[in-house]
Structure 1
Amino acid sequence: MPQATDPDILKKIVTMRMPFGKYKETIICDLPVHYLEWFAREGFPAGKLGMILSTIYEIKINGLEYLLVPLKQAFRGQQ
């Protein structure tokens, strides 16, 4: 059965910081593709973080990052 979609996932992608690892404190949408590819091979973390990372991975490998530009501008201006 598919999981319910988190309506705030795109906001989290452009505002949430990576909580651990080499890119700790990097905003999720700014993580490099090679790092996300490593997770895709080795397995994304369980839970919400894994869902967020797998979503930004799909966005990046499909060339859809341009869709995040207005969100980055909107949400980063509020911080």
Structure 2
Amino acid sequence: MEPVFDKEHLLKLARYKMPYGKYKGYFLSELPMPYLLWFQRKGFPKGVLGQNLREVLEIKENGLEGLLSQLREDFQP
């Protein structure tokens, strides 16, 4: 069975920036793995940010982070 991708969701995820902290203003896909893994250990924030951090971690764990940067480049608003 092939995975189903929601293009709009992936575009939003590709453009989502960290709203606070040391990496404020960075795209989530630019966050270093140790930072994402720290959130995983300590607990992701609630809401959209937490869900997006989980998804970016999974994408990076599978070596697909280039997908998000390519989406940002291909679909400039």
TM-score, normalised relative to structure 1: 0.77
Which amino acid is the alignment partner of residue 18 of structure 1?
Answer: M
**Cα RMSD (Å) of the superposition?**
1.5
The separation in 2 between residues aligned to 1:24 and 1:70, in whole angstroms, is 21
Q: Number of paired residues? A: 71
Equivalent residue, structure 2, for 1:52: 52
Alpha carbons of 1:26 and 1:46: their partners in 2 closer, same or farther (altered >3 Å)? same
Alpha carbons of 1:46 and 1:64: their partners in 2 closer, same or farther (altered >3 Å)? same
Alpha carbons of 1:36 and 1:20: their partners in 2 closer, same or farther (altered >3 Å)? same
Which amino acid is the alignment partner of residue 39 of structure 1?
Answer: F
Which amino acid is the alignment partner of residue 68 of structure 1?
Answer: L
The separation in 2 between residues aligned to 1:16 and 1:68, in whole angstroms, is 10
Q: Deviations over 1:16-59 (max 9, x none)?
A: 21001110111111111111010011010011111100000000
Unaligned runs of 5+ in 2: 1-5
The separation in 2 between residues aligned to 1:13 and 1:29, in whole angstroms, is 9
Which amino acid is the alignment partner of residue 56 of structure 1?
Answer: V
TM-score, normalised relative to structure 2: 0.79
Identity %, equivalent residues: 46
